[in-house]
Structure 1
C-alpha cells in the first residue's frame, strides 16, 4: 500500500511538472487519475520553490521583480501546464458557437485572442497581488504563494470529483476521464489546508472563499457550454483559484 502511494506521488509529479523523477516500472494509465489526491502536494512543491525565490529576490530587488521571478519559476517548473489549460479553455469557450467547435478549438495548440487575453490578465493579477503582499511582508507573500498553489490544485481535484467529463474519448489529459473519488478529494483538501495555519481565520477564509468563487466561473461555463470538464478546464479552475485567493489575501493584508 505504502509503495503504491509512493508511485502515485511520483506519477503526480511527472504529470503536473517538468521535475525529473525516477521512471515508474509497470506504469498503468489509471494511476494518473488515482494520483489526483496528491496534486496539492505537487502544487506545494512548486509553490515552495517559487516562495523561496520570491522571499530571496525581495531582499535584493524589491517586490515587483521578486513577484515576477516567483511566478516565472512556477511556470518553468510546470512547463506552463495549467496556464496552457486556461488559455485553451478561454479560446474554446469564448470562440466556439457549438459544443463540437469549442472542443475542436480547445484541442488546437495555437493561441487565440481569448486565450492570450485570459493568460495575460491572470498573470498580471497574480504578479500584482504578490507584489502588493511582498510590500507588506515578503515572508507572508511567500506563504500566500505556497498556499495558493496547493489550494488551487485541490480546487481542480474538486472539479474532477463534481463535474462529469465533457470532452471526447481519448481527449483526456488527466487519464481515464472518470470522476475523482470523494475519498481522494478529502485527502487532497487535507494536504492543501495546512499552510492556512499561518493565516488569520478571516484572511484564510476570505482567500478560500474568493478563490472558490472565481474558480467556479470557468467550471460553470464549461459545464454549460460543453457538458463538463476537460483537462484544460481543470487548468483554468486551478489558475482562477490562485487569482481569487491571492487577490483576497492581498486586499485583506493591505487593509
Structure 2
C-alpha cells in the first residue's frame, strides 16, 4: 500500500466520523466537540447516518426503560423512557408531526397548508395527533416484556429513520429553501447512500426475531400511504413531514411487532 493510501484511509474515516457526529448534533441535544463544526455543505451528506442516530436514541431510551423497570411497575418505565427520548431530541420529530397534521388538517390548499406548517403555534389537529401518537407508542411498548421491548425500541427508532431517509431519496423538498431548517439535510441522495442508510436501519431488526417482519411490513405500508398523501397534498415533502414520517412509521413498527407477538 502506498504512503498516500495509508494517509487517505484515516482521513476518510475521520471525515465519516465527523458526518456521524454532525448528524447526532443536528437531531439531538447531545453536545459535540468544537471540531465537529456545523457546515451546511457537510450536512447534506449526513442523511445516511440518520438511522445510526436513531439507534443511539433508541439505545438511550432502552437503557432508561431497563433501569426504571427495576424499581417501577406498570407503564411508568415506558413513559419515562419516551420522555427521555423526547428531551434528548428536543421534540424535533414530534414537532414535525404536530405541524404536519395542523397544516394538512387545516389547510384546504397546498399554499395554506405550507403556511400553517410554518406557524409555531400548536393547533387542534396537531395536538390530537401528538397526544394519540404518544399514547399508542407508550401502550404498545408497555404490552411487551421489558427485555423484548428494549430491542424493539432500538429497532423502531433506527428503522423509522431509514423510512424517512427513503422519503428524502425518492421525493422532492417543497418548502421554501430560504426558510426550511431541513434544506441542508434534504439534499438529493445517491443510491449507495440510501443502501448504506437502509442497512443500518434494518440491522437492529435481527434482534427482534421473526416478530420484526410484521413491524417491517406495517412501517412500509405507512411509509407508502404517507408518501402518496404528501405528494397529493403538497407535491413532495417538507422537514415537518419527514418528522411525521419518522413518528408514524415508528409506531407502525411497534404495533406490527405487538400484533405478531400476541398471535403466537
TM range (shorter): over 0.9
TM-score by length of 1: 0.94
Instruction: Quote the residue 2:93 is aligned against.
Output: 82
Whole-Å Cα distance in 2 between the matches of residues 37 and 174 of structure 1?
Answer: 15
Instruction: Quote the residue 1:158 is aligned against.
Output: 166
CA distance change for structure 1 residues 225 and 59 in 2, over 3 Å: closer, same or farther? same
CA distance change for structure 1 residues 24 and 96 in 2, over 3 Å: closer, same or farther? farther
Whether 1:188 and 2:197 are equivalent positions in the alignment is yes
Whole-Å Cα distance in 1 between the matches of residues 52 and 36 of structure 2?
Answer: 22
1:87-106 alignment runs, 5 A limit: 87-106=98-117
Asked if the contact 1:18–1:79 (Cα under 8 Å) also holds between the matched residues in 2, the reply is yes
SS in 1 for 2:32: coil
CA distance change for structure 1 residues 7 and 64 in 2, over 3 Å: closer, same or farther? same
Task: Write out per-residue CA displacement over residues 169-196 of structure 1, whole angstroms, 9 at most, x where no aligned residue.
Answer: 2233223443222211111111112222
Instruction: Quote the residue 1:112 is aligned against.
Output: 123
Q: Point out 4+ residue stretches in structure 1 off by more than 6 angstroms.
A: none
Structure with bigger gyration radius: 2
1:55 to 56, 61, 66: 66
1:206-225 alignment runs, 5 A limit: 206-225=214-233
Asked if the contact 2:137–2:254 (Cα under 8 Å) also holds between the matched residues in 1, the reply is yes
Whole-Å Cα distance in 1 between the matches of residues 187 and 65 of structure 2?
Answer: 37
The alpha carbon displacement at 1:25 in A equals: 5.8
SS in 2 for 1:62: coil
Whether 1:236 and 2:244 are equivalent positions in the alignment is yes
Whole-Å Cα distance in 1 between the matches of residues 37 and 205 of structure 2?
Answer: 37
Q: Which runs of 5+ in 1 are unaligned?
A: none
1:20-31 alignment runs, 5 A limit: 20-24=31-35, 27-31=38-42
Asked if the contact 1:42–1:150 (Cα under 8 Å) also holds between the matched residues in 2, the reply is yes
After TM superposition, the structure 1 stretch with the greater mean CA deviation from structure 2, 182-191 or 210-219, is 210-219
TM-score by length of 2: 0.91
Task: Write out per-residue CA displacement over residues 51-90 of structure 1, whole angstroms, 9 at most, x where no aligned residue.
Answer: 0111222222124001101111110100000000000011
Count of residue pairs the alignment pairs up: 251
Q: Which runs of 5+ in 2 are unaligned?
A: 1-11
1:18 to 13, 29, 35: 29
Instruction: Quote the residue 2:4 is aligned against.
Output: none
Asked if the contact 1:216–1:237 (Cα under 8 Å) also holds between the matched residues in 2, the reply is no
CA RMSD of aligned residues (A): 1.4
CA distance change for structure 1 residues 27 and 80 in 2, over 3 Å: closer, same or farther? closer
Whole-Å Cα distance in 1 between the matches of residues 129 and 226 of structure 2?
Answer: 11
